[in-house]
Amino acid sequence: MQAQVRLIAAGLIQRGWSVSIAVGGGDLEPVAGVTLIELPTFAGRWGSAYTRALRSEVRRLQPSVVHGHGLRLALPLRRLRHRATWVTCHGLDPLQVATTAKLVRWSRTPVIACGTGPRDLLSRYGLTSTVINNALTPPIPRSSEELRARFGLDPERPVIVFPARFSDQKNHRALLSALRAVRLQLGESAPYVLCFGDGPLRQEIERESLVDGSEPLLRCYDFSPEAPGWIGASDFFVLPSRWEGQPLVVLEALASNRAVVTLTPGVDDLVYDGINGVRVDSVARLAEVIVTWCREPERKPVDPVTNLRLCHEHSVDVVLDAYLTLYEGAARP
């Protein structure tokens, strides 16, 4: 989410807009030309201190548009009584959507969904939204030779790179379950799996990846801004997440023409079965696809034409045009 906010803010600055970003707790890397405003951490159901501080800043700045990122900001935005407000859904846990959708409907704050997956999920609970895609900046490409030299990998074995926070959402445990089945079939020729990220579950995942008398099922590394570039140097991409919005890692994989196999629901606007990847609905099926792609790499579905179209639809200029269509219409007297 932060990457998208920074990217869109920088694009708006380049197009002549004045942009301020208000952050309620946490850090945000500076963006050239953008004013950063510190607000209290959003705490509790209503975020009262946050809302008061936000209202004060809006009164001071008199912005044309107020755009909140994250559905919990729908209620604070309602209290601003500003004529041009939106809140973006970057993704939503299906287990929480019923309560969240109810509050957002009550707020009457217009919703932007990052992708058709969040839109379709929200619509099941009576909440309409406008789709604006996530913007992609293709990562700096890396070669397979660089990847293998950097991490000391056997050139004969496939490599999978998974940059993701070690959290329940990202579902590393489902990936581990699939990799156990893969190891049973492929033995020591099973793919290397390199995971990059931070998060509360890292030590547990590292411990659960250990196998007696053999190398771990996956290797864990600290978060690195280089990680997206390593996706293009790997053999294919695996996304096991419980839920996502419109995952940038999938777009980064497709930008490098890497086939994608995913256990994640709601990504059918990016992954087309048999064309640029495969969507699966079980750990067993995930393991089966990984084994097949390792043994028969020619069966990996890759369609450069489809991927090029998706990259264009998610380019910064196209996404900015969509935002400006909303913003400029609302800013007119």
Res. 68: pLDDT tops 80: yes
From CA 313, how far away is CA 268, in angstroms rounded?
15
* Whole-prediction pTM: 0.93
Domain ranges of the chain: 2-135+315-331, 144-312
53 close to 18: Cβ distance less than 8 angstroms: no
> Comparing 2-135+315-331 with 144-312, is the CATH topology the same?
yes
Task: Tell me the per-residue pLDDT of 197-245, one tens digit each, with 9 for 90 and over.
Answer: 999 999 999 999 999 888 999 999 999 988 999 999 999 999 999 999 9
Question: Mean pLDDT lowest for which of 10-19, 20-29, 138-147?
Answer: 20-29
Task: Tell me the per-residue pLDDT of 138-183, one tens digit each, with 9 for 90 and over.
Answer: 888 899 999 999 999 999 999 999 999 999 999 999 999 999 999 9
CATH superfamily of 2-135+315-331: Glycogen Phosphorylase B; (3.40.50.2000)
**Beta bridge pairs of residue 221:** 196
Determine the pLDDT at residue 28.
Answer: 77
CA-CA-CA-CA dihedral for 308, 314, 316, 318, to nearest 10: 100
Task: Tell me the per-residue pLDDT of 120-150, one tens digit each, with 9 for 90 and over.
Answer: 999 999 999 999 999 999 888 899 999 999 9
CATH superfamily of 144-312: Glycogen Phosphorylase B; (3.40.50.2000)
Task: Tell me the per-residue pLDDT of 302-328, one tens digit each, with 9 for 90 and over.
Answer: 999 999 999 999 999 999 999 999 998
Helix then strand then coil, % of the chain, to nearest 5: 45, 15, 40
Determine the pLDDT at residue 279.
Answer: 98
Question: For 266-274, what is the mean pLDDT?
Answer: 96
Contacts 24+ apart (CB under 8 A), 318-321: 318/133, 318/135, 319/8, 319/11, 319/132, 319/133, 319/134, 319/135, 320/8, 320/11, 320/12, 320/15, 320/135
Mean pLDDT taken over the chain = 94
241 close to 263: Cβ distance less than 8 angstroms: yes
